[in-house]
């Protein structure tokens, strides 16, 4: 049974230049990621939702508790279908819980060009404001 965790992202985590450099420097590995450390309670986090499948405005991370080789969406295999569906369904549940009836955005960064800096697949749930297109 796959488990998940949801945690809020703080503004200090979102420095664009630092984030881009981190994404370019990062690479998949079997070493524990920051998400593994949050899941294992090795570092503190503002966990707003947790169930036995997935971990939560305006910027919420939904993190599978088990990586199972799923370091990024491009690495997904058929065996990951359940957790991929669970990630999206959990995003819908959290959006409702957070009062995002007017809409929200789901983001998955994949690979260096996609600005992925943590190689543990996760979903960003964004809401609480009017989104624009293109996003950037």
Positive or negative, the Cα torsion across 75, 79, 83, 84? positive
d(CA 14, CA 1): 32
Q: Is 124 a catalytic residue?
A: no
Percent of residues in the chain assigned helix, strand, coil, to nearest 5: 35, 20, 50
Exactly one of 59, 80, 122, 124 is catalytic; name it.
122
Q: What is the largest CA-CA distance in the chain?
A: 39
Measured distance CA(39)–CA(37) in Å, rounded: 6
- Residues classed as catalytic: 122
């Amino acid at each position: 049974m796959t488990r998940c965790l949801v945690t809020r992202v703080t503004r200090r985590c979102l420095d664009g230049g630092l984030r881009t450099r981190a994404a370019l420097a990062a690479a998949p590995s079997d070493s524990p990621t920051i998400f593994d450390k949050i899941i294992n309670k090795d570092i503190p986090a503002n966990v707003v939702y947790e169930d036995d499948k997935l971990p939560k405005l305006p910027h919420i991370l939904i993190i599978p508790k088990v990586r199972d080789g799923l370091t990024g969406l491009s690495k997904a295999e058929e065996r990951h279908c359940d957790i991929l569906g669970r990630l999206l369904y959990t995003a819908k549940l959290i959006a409702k819980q957070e009062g995002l009836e007017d809409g929200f955005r789901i983001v998955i960064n994949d690979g260096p060009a996609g600005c992925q800096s943590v190689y543990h697949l996760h979903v960003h749930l964004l809401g609480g404001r009017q989104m624009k297109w293109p996003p950037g």
